[in-house]
């Protein structure tokens, strides 16, 4: 693993002349030593060690950059934040990355940016947004929170993605946007979604919180539409603890997204705070009805939030990004191992499917217990959990059945039968980079034992 610090810093270069910087170096070396003593060894004791579905994968590099950021004590967006934006943008091939404090915040910022007052043809209350019923709650929540109307369509069993054949049926005169999650890292058929959005002049947001590193037709997901969103919660492809990001190729949308993230203010100086602002005319801004000009720093042109990421989180993210290509490779490899291992049980389990143009960087391995199988989802997940193998249900299932979402204003296409199947019979196990051949072998043996005892 690459254990270098994020960028060569002046304090490290001049460590010999500066006692404070020599001490910093010593502290960081101690942090690395602490990592090696405390965390480097992850022995696997079958049955006792939990086979997690996801988790933090890190080494001394993350702990050192985090400690380095603590010693900077910048706390808010600083050198690590800038480095994180640059590196993540380079990985995705996008011009604009807006770090935030969670994937849910990324979704809120993305939808809110499209609702911005300053966006002349932006979304307005009552406009419709097409989105699937099988989803993560905070993909749907910002639609509701912005007083837009979700139009729910069904998913496909196997891919667990939006059923693109229902897009046309979902459309009305009020339809203005499509918000698609790439479920568990599995890319949606973007040929169909992009063609639909282009034909009807719709905004497109992609929730790629589970799909960092996934491509469709060789292109990173999240770059097909107007904005993509990411989560860096420990279950995801890289982690900053809590954290997330919005990304886009549009400077205009990026500026609105930053404004939504940063209290709704117009000023784009960030923390740099030059006396006359980055705009060079900080005290010359006009508020209608006010004779005197106003300070740009406190000119609020949107109704926003504060959803910013700290520099300590960004520092961890910088080190994680070095590992991302390897993480993606491991996720794919683990997926293949689990897929091959579960093929003998296809009579009772529906295994995942993906589009021929997709190259998924899988978040997890989804499985649906077939209707008529001689066991229930509860029985098989209980069996696995009793053997210390972590399982999860597929997020909300049909979210309209969830207590918090039953009464929301919405339109629905059909009866969502597949979403109900997911609610009743789908679950997932892990393929994350923290697994290894021994853990995957244990997981597959547990499935084998379950079927041997049927």
Ligand X SMILES: Cc1ncc(COP(=O)(O)O)c(C=O)c1O
Binding-site size, ligand X (CB under 6 A): 15
- The residue from 244, 264, 277, 317 that contacts ligand X (CB under 6 A) is 244
Q: What are the phi and psi torsion angles at 283 (to 5°)?
A: -100, 25
- The residue from 62, 96, 210, 266 that contacts ligand X (CB under 6 A) is 210
The 3-state secondary structure of 144-180 reads HHCCCEEEEECECCCCCCECHHHHHHHCCCCEEEEEE
CB of 101 to ligand X, least distance (A): 8
| Nearest residue to 177 (alpha-carbon basis) of 137, 217, 234, 139 | 139
CB of 103 to ligand X, least distance (A): 2
Residue 390 makes contact with ligand X by CB under 6 A: no
- By the 10 Å C-beta count (0-12 exposed, 13-18 middle, 19+ buried), 368 is classed as buried
- The residue from 21, 68, 163, 207 that contacts ligand X (CB under 6 A) is 207
Residue 181 makes contact with ligand X by CB under 6 A: yes
CB of 299 to ligand X, least distance (A): 30
Q: Are 209 and 236 in contact (CB under 8 A)?
A: yes
Q: Which is nearer to ligand X, 104 or 112 (CB)?
A: 104
Query: What count of other Cβ atoms lies within 10 Å of the Cβ of residue 42?
Result: 9
Q: Which is nearer to ligand X, 138 or 419 (CB)?
A: 138
Q: Which of residues 128-167 bind ligand X (CB under 6 A)?
A: 136, 138-139
Gap between the Cα atoms of 166 and 155, Å rounded: 9
From the centroid of its chain, how far is CA 447?
Answer: 29
User: Looking at 182, 226, 236, 296, which residue is catalytic?
Assistant: 236
**Residue 182 annotated to the active site:** no
CB of 372 to ligand X, least distance (A): 30
CB of 250 to ligand X, least distance (A): 21
- The residue from 197, 209, 400, 429 that contacts ligand X (CB under 6 A) is 209
Gap between the Cα atoms of 257 and 307, Å rounded: 11
DSSP string for 373-394 = -SS-HHHHHHHHHHTTB--EE-
Determine the number of helices (DSSP H) and then strands (DSSP E) in the chain. Answer: 13, 15
Residue 225 makes contact with ligand X by CB under 6 A: no
Q: Which residues bind ligand X (CB under 6 A)?
A: 102-104, 107, 136, 138-139, 181, 207, 209-210, 231, 233, 235, 244
Residues known to be catalytic: 236
């Amino acid at each position: 693993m690459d254990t270098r610090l994020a960028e060569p810093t002046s304090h490290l270069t001049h460590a010999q002349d500066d006692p404070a910087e020599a001490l910093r170096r010593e502290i960081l070396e101690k942090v690395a030593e602490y990592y090696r003593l405390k965390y480097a060894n992850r022995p696997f004791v079958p049955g006792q060690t939990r086979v997690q579905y996801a988790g933090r994968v890190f080494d001394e590099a993350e702990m050192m950059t985090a400690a380095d950021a603590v010693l900077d004590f910048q706390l808010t967006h600083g050198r690590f934040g800038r480095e994180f934006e640059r590196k993540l943008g380079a990985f995705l091939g996008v011009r604009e990355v807006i770090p935030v404090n969670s994937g849910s915040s990324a979704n809120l910022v993305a939808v809110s940016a499209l609702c911005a007052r300053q966006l002349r043809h932006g979304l307005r209350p009552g406009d419709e947004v097409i989105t699937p019923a099988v989803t993560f709650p905070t993909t749907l929540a910002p639609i509701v929170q912005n007083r837009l109307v979700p139009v729910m369509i069904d998913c496909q069993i196997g891919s667990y993605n939006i059923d693109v054949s229902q897009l046309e049926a979902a459309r009305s005169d009020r339809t203005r946007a499509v918000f698609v999650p790439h479920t568990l890292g599995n890319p949606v058929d973007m040929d169909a979604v992009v063609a639909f959005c282009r034909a009807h002049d719709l905004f497109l947001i992609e929730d790629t919180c589970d799909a960092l590193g996934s491509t469709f037709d060789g292109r990173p997901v999240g770059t097909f539409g107007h904005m993509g969103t990411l989560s860096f919660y420990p279950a995801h492809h890289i982690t900053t603890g809590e954290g997330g990001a919005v990304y886009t190729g549009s400077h205009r949308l990026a500026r609105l997204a930053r404004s939504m993230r940063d209290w709704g203010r117009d000023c784009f100086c960030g923390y740099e705070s030059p006396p006359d602002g980055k705009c060079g005319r900080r005290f010359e801004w006009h508020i209608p009805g006010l004779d005197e000009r106003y300070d740009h720093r406190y000119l609020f042109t949107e109704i926003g939030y504060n959803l910013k990421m700290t520099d300590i989180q960004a520092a961890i993210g910088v080190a994680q990004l070095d590992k991302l290509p390897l993480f993606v490779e491991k996720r794919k490899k683990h997926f293949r191992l689990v897929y091959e291992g579960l093929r003998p049980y296809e009579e009772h389990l529906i295994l995942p499917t993906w589009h021929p143009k997709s190259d998924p960087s899988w978040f997890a391995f989804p499985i649906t217990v077939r209707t008529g199988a001689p066991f229930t989802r509860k029985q098989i997940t209980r069996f696995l959990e009793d053997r210390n193998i972590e399982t999860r249900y597929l997020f909300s299932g049909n979210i309209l059945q969830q207590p918090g979402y039953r009464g929301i204003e919405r339109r629905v296409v059909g009866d969502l039968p597949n979403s109900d199947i997911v609610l009743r019979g789908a679950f997932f196990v892990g393929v994350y980079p923290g697994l290894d051949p021994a853990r995957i072998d244990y997981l597959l043996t547990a499935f084998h034992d379950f079927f041997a005892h049927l």
